[in-house]
Structure 1
Amino acid sequence: MRKHKFRAWDEENKVMIPWDQLKFDKDPSEEIVVYRQVSAGEWEGIEPELMEYTGLKDKNGAEGCQDDILDTHVGKAVIKLGKYGGTGDIEHYNVGFYVDFLDRFTNSAYRHELGYWLPQSVIIGNIHDNPELLAGKQS
């Protein structure tokens, strides 16, 4: 069983916060509260966008995470989490981590399973720190 880890994008400060600098808690209303480490023993509450680690690594051994950008042999792709698959009127979908290719043709022509793509690809950045890598994305 894989370890569940997250990283967080702090939009206010424009910084990615690694797993080991995050702390999670519940407030009295049972809502999850996220804190980032400011200094040794000092934490501040934040409202980040959380990204889950996939439990898989790229061909260089880097851990794959939601919103990472991959360089595959057929083009760039983004790691996403959610529903993917089904076409047309068929209500058959997969749910989990998958790749979303930046090029519309490539996205429709190739499989999307992350477990197939990540071990043979390289993580070149993420959509928050490296938005320039998404240039030319076709919808």
Structure 2
Amino acid sequence: MREIKFRAYSKEKCEMFKSEDVVSIDFTDKMIELYRSDDGLYENPDSRWETLYLDELELMQYTGLKDKDGAEIYEGDIVSYNFFEFSFIGVVKNDCYCFYIEDVFDDTHDFDDFVDTTNGTPKCDDLIVIGNIYENPELLEQE
């Protein structure tokens, strides 16, 4: 069974909160509680706690998979894949049943389903997380 965790991007602050910082998500009251783990930034431990509303954030779920370099893959990540002459850049998305990669630049194949990665291409071991859609939108622009 895969590990369930989220990271969050604050639209207002333009800041990504790591999954380790997300303490709880309250879907009833639509709030998220954060604890910033960066020790050097805060003199007072109480100032590390923060509560934000979900409408101020973009939540990204962990796929349970890691890329070639061991980086966790989340929805909203921009990944690259290179295998001889076959390569693409895609965005990790979440459907109601699976995570998949939507190719950004190539219309010849719409997406590659993470469910099939053990039997086909691309395999997660061949993917590299190169950014995410919130902090690196320039990666989605075709040259």
TM bin, normalised by shorter chain, reads: 0.7 to 0.9
Counterpart pick for 2:63 among 54, 57, 63:
54
Instruction: Look up the match of 2:137.
Output: 131
Where in structure 1 are there 5+ consecutive unaligned residues? 84-94
Contact 2:88 2:106 in 1 (8 A): no
Greater alpha carbon shift after TM alignment, 3-12 vs 37-46: 37-46
Instruction: Look up the match of 2:125.
Output: 119
Question: Following TM superposition, where does structure 1 have runs of at least 4 consecutive aligned residues deviating by more than 6 angstroms?
Answer: none
**CA displacement 1:48-99 (0-9 Å, x = unmatched):** 111000000111111111010111122100100015xxxxxxxxxxx21000
Instruction: Look up the match of 1:87.
Output: none
Instruction: Look up the match of 1:92.
Output: none
Instruction: Look up the match of 1:33.
Output: 31
Q: What SS does the corresponding residue of 1:34 show, helix, strand or coil?
A: strand
Change (3 A) 1:4 1:103: same
Q: What SS does the corresponding residue of 1:69 show, helix, strand or coil?
A: strand
Contact 1:8 1:49 in 2 (8 A): yes
1:25 positional shift: 5.0
1:19 positional shift: 1.2
Q: Partners of 1:59 and 1:25 in 2: how far apart?
A: 30
Q: What SS does the corresponding residue of 1:13 show, helix, strand or coil?
A: coil
Where in structure 2 are there 5+ consecutive unaligned residues? 37-41
Contact 2:100 2:113 in 1 (8 A): yes
Change (3 A) 1:96 1:44: same
Aligned residue-pair number: 122
Matches within 5 A, 1:75-94: 75-82=88-95
| Aligned-pair identity (%) | 32
> TM (normalized to structure 1)?
0.77
Q: What SS does the corresponding residue of 2:95 show, helix, strand or coil?
A: strand
> TM (normalized to structure 2)?
0.75
